[in-house]
Amino acid sequence: MRKQDIKDIELGPRQLTFGFENNHSKQQDRLLYYIKRQIETHGQVVLDEFIQYVKERHEWPEFLILQNIFWLAQGLKIHFKINKQSLDPYNVKKILLENPDQHVEIAANKSVDDFVFQFAKRFYQKLSGKNIIDNYDDQYEFSRLLAEEIKHWESCINTFKSYAKRPYFPGKEQIDRGLSLIHTISAKLDSFSLINAFYINRDPILKLVDDVKTLSEFYTRHLDFWVTLTESIEQFTKNLPELKNRPDVITDFDRLKQILSTSQPYDMVEEAWELYKKIKIHNDIIVKNKTEQYRIEVLTMLDHMIEKMKSHLKKHKAGPDLRNKYLYSLRMISKTIQKAKDIEKINRLKNHAQDRFDIYWEEVENNT
């Protein structure tokens, strides 16, 4: 096989016209017939030898044969084996690009027992709400439908995976369990194994679908609110000594933490919201009182700094440049502190004032 042909192999969804698809479908049916006949005759089919076998019977380009073989594998009608290990078309292409002479076997996929096939279809229809009983008589088409559905579940779960790693965010256990099941089922690279795995794992799949629905609803509808709740716990904890003066409030706080800490708080969201609102009323009063108290303390400290600087400037008969440079700066900081709305901003302004005050003394000392 030429390395360029391997590189040009297309994988993934295809946008095809009906005529083009019909032509390739006939070619793939012919290839599948040859594969099954070769297996019956020789017990195995080797990829590069099979390509030559087909070329001797048809005037098909080597790349066309190779591409259609990979499309057969992608359609779950055959699967590849390297060193007795089943591999998907993507990994086989990657290996062949590194070593075009790699020994690759082609295996035809077996048919599922009809009872299992029909039961799996009815189970999927009930699970998905899609009417597929009369539309999917072909096991390969049905297995591709299952593969697409499994990918959809995996995509949904992975969307919430990063959130579930945060403290107080639910779903980690459900996500880990779901992904483990998905990886077990989707590791099946042929229609026979995939349909059988779907049939055997019916109860875990029911749980998985329920978990996907629950997580999707929670993170779609309540994510912003839950972020606010988890951040509020840190804010409320800062004022815990004051909150403890109200037994009813501290009881609500403990209950809110209990809800946030549970692994499945999905039916307690409204209760958590009501608790949050009640606690926030009292916490806001505490924060406001603390802010005003701290503002007074910092303004008092700043007044002392200003008076000390004025006295020092007067004593040394400082000029207007030095006076404007530092004294004006402290006064402006004082006015800003009077309008500041939270302790954090007041504290930043306080530190800035202290820095200006220290720089002033350093400059005075260097110039005396």
Overall average pLDDT of the 274-294 stretch: 94
Q: What are the Cα distances from residue 333, in Å, to 17, 340, 354?
A: 72, 10, 10
Q: Which residues are CB-contacts of 195 (< 8 A; sequence separation ≥ 6)?
A: 112, 116, 117, 120, 139, 142, 143, 146
Report pLDDT for 249.
94
Report pLDDT for 274.
95
CA 204, CA 182: separation in Å to the nearest integer? Answer: 10
Overall average pLDDT of the 350-359 stretch: 89
Based on the number of CB atoms within 10 Å of its own CB, is 233 exposed (0-12), middle (13-18) or buried (19 or more)?
A: middle
190: nearest Cα among 268, 272, 263, 87: 87
CA 219, CA 272: separation in Å to the nearest integer? Answer: 15
Helix, strand or coil, per DSSP, at residue 112: coil
Overall average pLDDT of the 304-309 stretch: 89
User: What is the side-by-side order of every strand in the sheet holding 45-46?
Assistant: 45-46, 105-108, 78-82, 85-87
Q: Would you kindly state where each structural domain of the chain is located, as residue ranges?
A: 3-108, 114-221, 225-368
Q: Which band of pLDDT confidence, cut at 50, 70 and 90, is reported for residue 26?
A: confident
What percentage of residues in the chain have a pLDDT greater than 90?
53
CA 55, CA 263: separation in Å to the nearest integer? Answer: 60
Report pLDDT for 251.
95
Report pLDDT for 322.
64
Helix, strand or coil, per DSSP, at residue 10: coil
Based on the number of CB atoms within 10 Å of its own CB, is 78 exposed (0-12), middle (13-18) or buried (19 or more)?
A: buried
The region of weakest confidence among 169-173, 191-195, 268-272, 317-321 is 317-321
Overall average pLDDT of the 245-270 stretch: 94
Q: What share of the chain is helix, strand, coil (3-state, %, to 5)?
A: 75, 5, 20
Q: Which residues are CB-contacts of 153 (< 8 A; sequence separation ≥ 6)?
A: 178, 182, 208, 209, 212
Report pLDDT for 95.
93
- pLDDT tens-place string over residues 238-256: 999 999 999 999 999 999 9
Per the model's pLDDT, the better-predicted residue between 136 and 257 turns out to be: 257
pLDDT for 23 beyond 50? yes
- pLDDT tens-place string over residues 203-233: 999 999 999 999 999 999 999 999 999 999 9
Report pLDDT for 129.
85
Q: Which band of pLDDT confidence, cut at 50, 70 and 90, is reported for residue 186?
A: confident
pLDDT for 35 beyond 50? yes
Report pLDDT for 44.
82
Q: Which band of pLDDT confidence, cut at 50, 70 and 90, is reported for residue 158?
A: very high
Report pLDDT for 16.
44
Per the model's pLDDT, the better-predicted residue between 41 and 226 turns out to be: 226
Q: Whole-number mean pLDDT of the chain?
A: 87
To 10 degrees, what angle do helices 343-366 and 269-315 make? 20
For residue 39, which phi and psi values (nearest 5 degrees)?
-65, -40
Overall average pLDDT of the 188-211 stretch: 89
Q: Which band of pLDDT confidence, cut at 50, 70 and 90, is reported for residue 99?
A: very high
Report pLDDT for 191.
81
Report pLDDT for 20.
43
Report pLDDT for 247.
92
Q: Which band of pLDDT confidence, cut at 50, 70 and 90, is reported for residue 365?
A: low
What percentage of residues in the chain have a pLDDT greater than 70?
92
